[in-house]
Amino acid sequence: MYLAPRRGALFAFCTESPKQKRMFGLKKRSGTSRKRPQRSRDIAVAGRRLPLTIREHERATRLTLRIEPGGRALKLSVPVGIEDREIDRFLHRHHGWLQSRLAKLPKASGVEEGSSIPIRGVAHRIARTGKFRGITETGEMDGEPVLRVGGAPEHLGRRIVDFLKKQARADLETAVARHTAALGQSAAGISLKDTKSRWGSCSSRGNLSFSWRIVMAPDYVIDYLAAHEVAHLKEMNHGPRFWALCRQLCARTDEAKRWLKRHGSALHAIEFKP
């Protein structure tokens, strides 16, 4: 199972019902048609170009357009056999929807010397040390939390990502160990990724996966994410017993869910590339 962003929070989507598709001639071809591979293109929306991934699904009965967390990309799921011109018409009809939704999302922000980045929910000003060697570490300067980063200027983003991944692994491994001990369960392994559509997942084999960006959230949100995925080791669903288990492991579950709904998209909008 996975912990996905809530609708309207980290991503948004729109669909056209089967009735609408009939009105516009959007229907599947015969069952003998071949499934086309995933396609990609860029589209212009509100003065910016966004990558769009188009994927055909055998069971799809409608077109579903999704905005990825942070508004960095778009995904369009379509029934098998839909022609490109019909996809173009769909995108044209929903251009206004895209503009309004993107306008509500946090603008992408990069990391540079003097800017701030949250670490465990606390804003840290980025300060280059001026040295080409040395570790990246947190500290304080003039009473203000700072993140000291060495290395060449063009490697600033990469060094910060490496630091965040290291901190995320330490926090999540500690939290997972505590929660698995409480449940009498064990995780097969822990991995970190930069997923765009989910904060974490738990496979049927007990492998837990997390977005390393969660380390930018407050401590109790990190703890909730670990508890959420550990709970899936016992309850592979999102039913009442699962949520009761989550609240048993993390008393601030509801508060953490609200925080992610309100602020999670901003974490995905942070760009670390030069």
Verify that 142 and 176 share a domain, yes or no.
yes
Number of domains comprising the chain? 2
pLDDT at 2: 38
Q: Would you place residue 69 in the very low, low, confident or very high pLDDT band (cuts 50, 70, 90)?
A: low
Q: Are 217 and 121 within 8 A, CB to CB? A: yes
Verify that 226 and 128 share a domain, yes or no.
yes
Verify that 52 and 174 share a domain, yes or no.
no
Mean pLDDT rounded to a whole number for the chain: 85
Task: Look up the domain containing 150 and give its range.
Answer: 110-271
> Is the model's pLDDT at 20 over the cut of 70?
no
Verify that 242 and 118 share a domain, yes or no.
yes
pTM of the model: 0.71
Q: Partners of 39 in the beta sheet?
A: 54
> Is the model's pLDDT at 54 over the cut of 90?
yes
pLDDT at 36: 57
Verify that 128 and 262 share a domain, yes or no.
yes
pLDDT at 10: 35
- Token duo for residue 272: 């670390």
Nearest alpha-carbon partner for 63 in 11, 27, 101, 32: 27
Can you tell me whether residue 196 is helix, strand or coil? Answer: coil
Q: How far apart are CA 267 and CA 111, in angstroms?
A: 12
Can you tell me whether residue 107 is helix, strand or coil? Answer: coil
Q: Would you place residue 249 in the very low, low, confident or very high pLDDT band (cuts 50, 70, 90)?
A: very high
Q: At what angle do helices 240-249 and 253-268 cross, to 10 degrees?
A: 90
Q: Are 131 and 176 within 8 A, CB to CB? A: no
| Final residue belonging to a domain, choices 104, 126, 148 | 104
Q: How far apart are CA 53 and CA 41, in angstroms?
A: 7
| Minimum mean pLDDT range among 15-19, 176-180, 245-249, 251-255 | 15-19
| Final residue belonging to a domain, choices 77, 104, 131 | 104
Q: Partners of 137 in the beta sheet?
A: 148
Q: How far apart are CA 90 and CA 75, in angstroms?
A: 13
Verify that 165 and 99 share a domain, yes or no.
no
Verify that 231 and 124 share a domain, yes or no.
yes
Q: Would you place residue 18 in the very low, low, confident or very high pLDDT band (cuts 50, 70, 90)?
A: very low
* Burial of 84 (C-beta count, 10 Å sphere; 0-12/13-18/19+): exposed
Give 136 or 12, the one with higher predicted confidence: 136
pLDDT digits (tens, 9 = 90+) for 184-227: 999 999 999 998 778 999 999 999 999 999 999 999 999 999 99
CB neighbour list of residue 198: distance below 8 Å, 6 or more residues apart: 2, 3, 4, 5, 211
DSSP 132: S
Q: How far apart are CA 268 and CA 11, in angstroms?
A: 11
Q: What percent of the chain has pLDDT over 70?
A: 84
Verify that 179 and 163 share a domain, yes or no.
yes
Residue 250's CATH number: 3.30.2010.10
Verify that 66 and 120 share a domain, yes or no.
no
Verify that 177 and 85 share a domain, yes or no.
no
Verify that 96 and 136 share a domain, yes or no.
no
